[in-house]
Homo-oligomer: A and B are copies of this chain.
Amino acid sequence: MISPLPRDLFDPACPSNATPFQIGDKWAGMVLVCLEEGPRRFSELRVPLHRVSAKVLAETLRALERDGMVTRTAYDEVPPRVDYALTPLGRTLFPAMDACRAWAAEHLTEVLDARDDYARRGA
């Protein structure tokens, strides 16, 4: 067991949930963040990503595997076990992702204020 994933990515206070950037599809960025500290099993990923159905998580993981961002390792055991880990290529995404998340953390309130102003002007 590596360290737990303490963050709730769906917390409205979490900038990653409000970033205007996305990686690939809607969930791929969050999956990469969940893998940052080490390999995870399918069902471990489902805990922090509880808003994602198994189907969509499986599709997201296969897309990331296809693009060389993660590796999928199946162990021939009972009960079956599979884990997913970042590749070196996947790790190269973090600087860019961090820049996006930093932008969101810094400017989120400005965006929300702009939306309020816009709504009031329309009203």
Which A residues fall within an 8 A CB radius of B? 20-24, 28, 65-68, 89, 92-93, 95-96, 99-100, 102-103, 106-107, 110-111, 113-115, 117-118
Contact = CB atoms under 8 A, between A and B. Distances in A.
10 contacts: A20-B24, A20-B67, A68-B113, A68-B114, A68-B115, A89-B110, A95-B99, A96-B100, A99-B99, A99-B100
Given A21-B22, A22-B21, A92 B107 contact: yes
A115 B28 CA distance: 16
State how many copies of this chain the complex holds.
2
Interface of A is mostly: helix
A28 B22 CA distance: 12
